[in-house]
């Protein structure tokens, strides 16, 4: 799918900021936020959901077309079972309780990642919310849940291999576009900006293929403290970057 570069870097009407076509967010630091306050990790996760709501509202108000948030990594299965069950319950409650608001704001929801290991009731809820919001034309909200970037590339590779084995695709015809079309984010522009909270400075298996040329911004705040001021500071940092994509001069993407 070709993307018109003219839709990127749209200035914010109020602040003159460049607006990315696609923002990816690694929502990190819920546990550290809770520990610093002597609270249970579960309370940090609950506050993290509130921060996610703030981010969605900010993306809508600043006309960000696409947002992908890293909610639960396929590597997070090593965490205590009670915490995993709590996080799964939070996704269930977020999707169910916020659906009416998201529909009213024309938000389309996609839950990307593996469905393996998820309870059937959660899978049904995911399928239902994706179906109900499919025709919405506002913000595309992708929630990366039970997701890993390496695993996503493996799934895409298997799909392409099956097409070759079936005779529908020649190996010499495989291109970067072929791979991109087989990823969970098929049809969407790659992220222009990937943000991580909590001071950690790594991508942790998030959107590995798609984020090849993303601008990386790391902030010290733990995710529950994410605010409008932080969001605007991140956009200011992004606006100041020159994006050359391997060339000499900045390119309008």
- The residues annotated as belonging to the active site are 28, 76
Place of tokens 């309370």: 43
Task: Measure the CA–CA gap between 114 and 168, rounded to whole angstroms.
Answer: 25
Tally the C-alpha atoms within 13 A of residue 158's C-alpha that lie toward its C-beta.
6
Query: What residues are paired with 22 via a beta bridge?
Result: 66
> Which residues have C-beta within 8 Å of that of residue 92, sequence separation ≥ 6?
121, 122, 125
Burial (CB < 10 A; 0-12, 13-18, 19+), residue 223, is buried
Nearest to residue 94, comparing CAs of 147, 63, 120, 56?
Answer: 56
Beginning with the edge strand found earlier in the chain, give each strand of the sheet holding 108-112 in spatial order: 108-112, 140-147, 66-73, 22-26, 193-196, 215-218
Three-class SS state of 19: strand
What six digits make up the tokens of 182? Answer: 């087989």
Task: Measure the CA–CA gap between 213 and 154, rounded to whole angstroms.
Answer: 21
């Amino acid at each position: 799918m070709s993307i018109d570069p003219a839709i990127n870097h749209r200035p914010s009407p109020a602040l003159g900021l460049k607006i990315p076509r696609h923002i990816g967010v690694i929502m990190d630091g819920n546990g550290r936020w809770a520990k610093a306050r002597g609270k249970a990790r579960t309370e940090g996760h609950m506050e993290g959901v509130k921060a996610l709501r703030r981010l969605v509202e900010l993306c809508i108000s600043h006309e960000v077309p696409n947002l992908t948030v890293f909610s639960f990594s396929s590597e997070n299965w090593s965490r205590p079972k009670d915490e995993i069950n709590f996080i799964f319950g939070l996704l269930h409650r977020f999707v169910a309780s916020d659906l009416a608001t998201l529909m009213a704001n024309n938000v389309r929801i996609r839950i990307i990642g593996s469905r393996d290991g998820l309870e059937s009731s959660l899978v049904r809820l995911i399928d239902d919310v994706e179906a109900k919001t499919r025709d919405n034309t506002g913000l595309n909200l992708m929630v990366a849940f039970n997701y890993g970037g390496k695993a996503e590339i493996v799934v895409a590779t298997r799909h392409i291999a099956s097409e070759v084995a079936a005779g529908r695709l020649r190996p010499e015809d495989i291109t970067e576009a072929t791979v991109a079309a087989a990823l969970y984010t098929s049809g969407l522009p790659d992220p222009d900006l990937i943000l991580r909270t909590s001071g950690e400075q790594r991508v942790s298996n998030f959107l590995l293929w798609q984020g090849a040329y993303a601008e990386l911004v790391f902030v010290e705040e733990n995710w529950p403290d994410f605010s409008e001021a932080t969001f605007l500071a991140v956009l200011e940092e992004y606006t100041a970057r020159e994006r050359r994509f391997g060339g000499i001069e900045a390119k309008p993407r």
